[in-house]
Structure 1
Amino acid sequence: MKIKLSTYTGINQKYQFHNFIEGKSNQLALYVSYRFTNNLKNFYNLLFLYGKSGLGKTHLLHAIGNKILIEDYRKKVIYVHSENFIQNMINSLKNNSIEKFKNYYRSIDVLLIDDIQFFSNKKRSQEELFNTLNTLFEKRQKIVITANCYPSYISGINECLKSRFKWGLTISINPPELNTRINILLHKALENKINLTYEIAKFIARKSYSNVRELEGILKKIHIASLFNKEKITIHLAKKILNKLMKYKKKNIDILSIQKTVSKYFNITISDMISKKRSQSIVQSRQIAMTLIKKLTKYSLSDIGIAFGKKNHTTVLYACKKINQFKKQKKQIYYDFLYLFNQLNS
């Protein structure tokens, strides 16, 4: 049976649940996403998936849409990137067709909206999205939203809209652990007809702590090198390519570069981070940045404190202590710290 896709922005049919590589880092997100499609009128109708770029959020969005359409092609399922939603709304205002725009989005069965952080500081678009979500929620229709961080940490989004994001289930997708990285490499090799052994995949995976896209990029570079040199993919060749990549990625890590990395990750400004603001998102991002500087540089505790708005060295010590507590408690904020540590240290 032919599946009818949305004429606004279609569902990419190559993304299915069966070709999503499962591991400890994404197991819960995969399970919840699959269950989400089983009963369109169950006890929750909003799913919020968050995690850094390249971890599979968009894949799961398309997989949800595909499964729903396969089971009932009459369902009106819309996948839209946030930038497209905003642009569609602006065009509708210009063309005096805003009512048509509203009716379109409020008449669907399943709304899949990607990268919600792009609504940051877009007040008119946020207002329209807020009203759309309210309407769909009242009708018990399905909504899936993705973002690069937890709802509370998205800057430039009004609190009313953030509260709507928390109506349903909020699930994180973390960077893949070693076994998942190995499986991703083997899957991509098979998919692209690349002769890759388990031992070589493991060697590559041990050298990388990043995301699916970067793993795929590394594999392609090694494959191209083997074709160019007319030799098999060996650990020696993989090591040679990885050493080159690491050389290009090598950064001069200092206080400012770490502050920039952390502020970008949490969608806040550096001025917020070094201010006296005490909101949870600001405080935790500040603690992460301080701890990263302590671990990755040779700056003294006093120097680090001064760089964060002339704070006392005891504040830096307390920040490191808190991150260690988060590690023992296995809290999400520690995994954010770990991801940033690996990113900066790679």
Structure 2
Amino acid sequence: MQVDPRARFDNYIVGSANRLAVAAATAVADAPGAAYNPLFVYSGPGLGKTHLMGAIGNLALQRAPDLSVEYVAVDDFVQQLHAAIAAGEIDRFKQRYARVDLLLLDDVQFLTGRRETQSEILRLLNALQGSGRQIVMTSDRPPTEISDVDERLISRLSGGLVVDIGIPDYETRVAIMREKCEERRITFAPGVVEELARAEFANVRELQGALNRMSAQQSLDGTLVPAQVRALAGLPEPGYSAAPAPPPPVDEFFSFLTDIANTVAASVEPWKVRVGEAIAYWGGEGYRTAALERLMSEPAAPSNYEALLRGFGQAVEQLRELERQVSEVDPLLGGDERFRDPERLAETAAFVERALAGAVPPAGPQPAFSRASFVESPSNQMAVRAADAIVAEPGRRYNPLFLAGPSGVGKTHLLNAIGNEIARTLGAPGSVACVGAQLFIDELIAALQEGTVDRFRARYRAADALLIDDIQFVAGKERTQDELFHVFNSFHAAGKQLVFASDLPPKAIEGLEERLRSRFEGGLVTELGAPDRALREKLYGRLLAEASALPSPELVSYLADRPVASVRELIGTIHRLKAKADSSGAALSLALARQELDPVVPTPSSVPASVRQAADVFFLDDEKIVWEWPDAAVRLVEEMR
């Protein structure tokens, strides 16, 4: 897998909490295999491990474009290993990774309990280090704290340099937010960013989530001032303290590394040697090299031979990506000969397209829920504006978007409306997956039972946007959360839009793993409240008109004044009034609504106090005496004797 081109050193903010990790990463990128091999970086979720790993890969490729760089998460490595075993291509799998010059292995903590994968990675690390190739690994904990892992592998992981990334300090938080504001062209009033940075966030994703909320709120209310920051971001009001001391100046380490890089020069070999090396390399990888052999037979160096070599390598990378895609649908298809011949690239792409088209895509959004029919009001305004923003630029704004609110306030409607609008924007209705969390869980369980987990993953990862309703249902389900974690990472790295809906915000969902919680909060978490009066008035007017009730302004105003907990309750009120009008044969009017919703209960008449005082209390008990009898003809009159 290629590294994310957005992950670079120039957009990675260096502070006291990550300075050592950045210095080591820069040294590795400048001279892979020469220093800190392996490099092991660990930290909590959301602190920049994956970004730093991607920056290493991008800088290394910038320094040496012919370098073979491979980024892979442990979970993806496991999938590839199993697919190779199933297809009988384990030797080719080993050869592929043995040729890598720079291996970036993410989320090493997931090696826990996977003995077969541990053995293969141990063999791979030994082979790569033995040939002077660089290895970089990340984890959420140091090597010695990864449980159920072979001691030999622990020793190998710890054999290089182990560095950690801490929580960013005040200055770093300010710098990160300013960088994000410049990147997204957001402008805040002086002091707003600094005030937000005073709060100590657990990771960068939470910091970015708070910044997203401020941006969304500013789009509604206009320019914000520092005094509003903590209330809008939901932060406590601590006493102000002096800003931390400025970080120490950077030492001469970077300059030293730069000097080393400048003194290392690659030797220029004759063109035939270059082509011959390429033939030997790609032939060893198992690819057909007829095109390079024809180039080798040329009597003189073609003027564009370097471009031809690069084009051949790019064609191989495309074949690898196509093979990966089709193997996720059916591992047996990955061994087809088409994937070994770069000259058949177009034919292979068409083959993969047909294979992927045979897979059943996940369910899409329900067409009945449209954006035009969703009514905006102050109780849901921020959620609606955020939805409109991501529809205009899917994957570029508020990714992920997390909709939270009690049942019946319109989360499902808005979620499906977003899906329908994104599908319209992308021009491909089948490219948007919109499912309930329970369906996602049931499909995963079925895939586990049938042994088709690879196809399950391929179905979801092939979508251009993923929307999941009632995401709170994944809480406490370890296997589902593990799968969702990797699907989330795949979509986010590819710049695809993610939207989730829940009855609780992420921080309040018990049983939700921290790695998912931090990713949800790294986007924009916005809440939908109970319908306010403005929303009730709009909805009652529209629903009564749809019921052909021709509502009067007085009736709509009367109904809007009655608080409701949800839109469902509001719709239920309309159904109740309509049924009452139909059964009584009367028009739906203000009088009928008052009679049905606020009935007058007659109070029993009371006996005059003077009578009760004069009569015997026992004799005049309410259960023994009829105090009022309107029809005098049926009274029983008995002569007293």
TM-score range, shorter chain: 0.5 to 0.7
Following superposition, the deviation at residue 44 of structure 1 comes to: 3.5
Tell me the SS of whatever aligns to 1:146: strand
CA distance in 2, matches of 1:66, 1:43: 18
Q: Give yes or no for the alignment of 1:114 onto 2:106.
A: yes
- Counterpart position of 2:76: 84
CA distance in 1, matches of 2:215, 2:195: 15
Moved more, 104-113 or 184-193: 184-193
- Counterpart position of 1:335: none
Q: For structure 1, which runs of at least 5 residues remain unmatched after alignment? A: 1-8, 251-346
- Structure 1 residues 99, 201: closer, same or farther in 2, change over 3 A? same
Conserved in 1, the CA contact under 8 Å of 2:191 and 2:226?
no
- Counterpart position of 2:9: 17
Letter in 1 for 2:201: Y
CA distance in 2, matches of 1:57, 1:76: 21
- Structure 1 residues 80, 243: closer, same or farther in 2, change over 3 A? same
Following superposition, the deviation at residue 213 of structure 1 comes to: 1.0
CA distance in 2, matches of 1:63, 1:17: 5
CA distance in 1, matches of 2:206, 2:221: 23
Conserved in 1, the CA contact under 8 Å of 2:5 and 2:54?
yes
- Counterpart position of 1:40: 32
Q: Give yes or no for the alignment of 1:185 onto 2:191.
A: no
Conserved in 2, the CA contact under 8 Å of 1:23 and 1:179?
yes
- Structure 1 residues 146, 198: closer, same or farther in 2, change over 3 A? farther
- Counterpart position of 1:66: 58
Conserved in 2, the CA contact under 8 Å of 1:222 and 1:233?
no
Q: For structure 2, which runs of at least 5 residues remain unmatched after alignment? A: 237-504, 511-641
Tell me the SS of whatever aligns to 1:37: helix
- Counterpart position of 2:204: 212
Tell me the SS of whatever aligns to 1:195: coil
Following superposition, the deviation at residue 212 of structure 1 comes to: 1.1
1:80-122, Cα deviation, whole Å (9 max, x unpaired): 1111001100111111111111111111101001010011111
Conserved in 2, the CA contact under 8 Å of 1:113 and 1:145?
yes
Letter in 2 for 1:127: S
CA distance in 2, matches of 1:159, 1:102: 22
Letter in 2 for 1:156: D
Q: Give yes or no for the alignment of 1:75 onto 2:67.
A: yes
CA distance in 2, matches of 1:172, 1:200: 30
- Counterpart position of 1:135: 127
Higher RCO structure (Cα 8 Å, ≥6 apart): 1
Conserved in 1, the CA contact under 8 Å of 2:195 and 2:226?
no
Written as runs of structure 1 = structure 2, the 5 A alignment for 1:1-346 is 9-197=1-189, 199-232=191-224, 234-243=226-235
CA distance in 2, matches of 1:223, 1:167: 45
- Structure 1 residues 188, 52: closer, same or farther in 2, change over 3 A? same
Conserved in 1, the CA contact under 8 Å of 2:30 and 2:63?
no
Tell me the SS of whatever aligns to 2:198: helix
CA distance in 1, matches of 2:197, 2:509: 17
Conserved in 1, the CA contact under 8 Å of 2:75 and 2:110?
yes
Conserved in 1, the CA contact under 8 Å of 2:40 and 2:161?
yes
Following superposition, the deviation at residue 38 of structure 1 comes to: 1.9
Conserved in 1, the CA contact under 8 Å of 2:39 and 2:137?
yes
Sequence identity percentage: 31
Letter in 2 for 1:222: M
CA distance in 1, matches of 2:77, 2:133: 18
1:117-138, Cα deviation, whole Å (9 max, x unpaired): 0111111011111100010011
Question: Could you state the TM-score of these two structures normalised by the residue count of structure 1?
Answer: 0.66
- Counterpart position of 2:395: none
1:168-209, Cα deviation, whole Å (9 max, x unpaired): 111111111111111111111121111124522222122233
Following superposition, the deviation at residue 228 of structure 1 comes to: 2.2
Tell me the SS of whatever aligns to 1:207: coil
CA distance in 2, matches of 1:232, 1:181: 19
Moved more, 82-91 or 179-188: 179-188
Moved more, 239-248 or 71-80: 239-248
- Structure 1 residues 28, 247: closer, same or farther in 2, change over 3 A? closer
Following superposition, the deviation at residue 226 of structure 1 comes to: 1.5
> Higher helix proportion, which one?
1
Letter in 2 for 1:12: D
Following superposition, the deviation at residue 232 of structure 1 comes to: 3.5
CA distance in 1, matches of 2:215, 2:143: 39
Question: Could you state the TM-score of these two structures normalised by the residue count of structure 2?
Answer: 0.36
- Structure 1 residues 114, 205: closer, same or farther in 2, change over 3 A? same
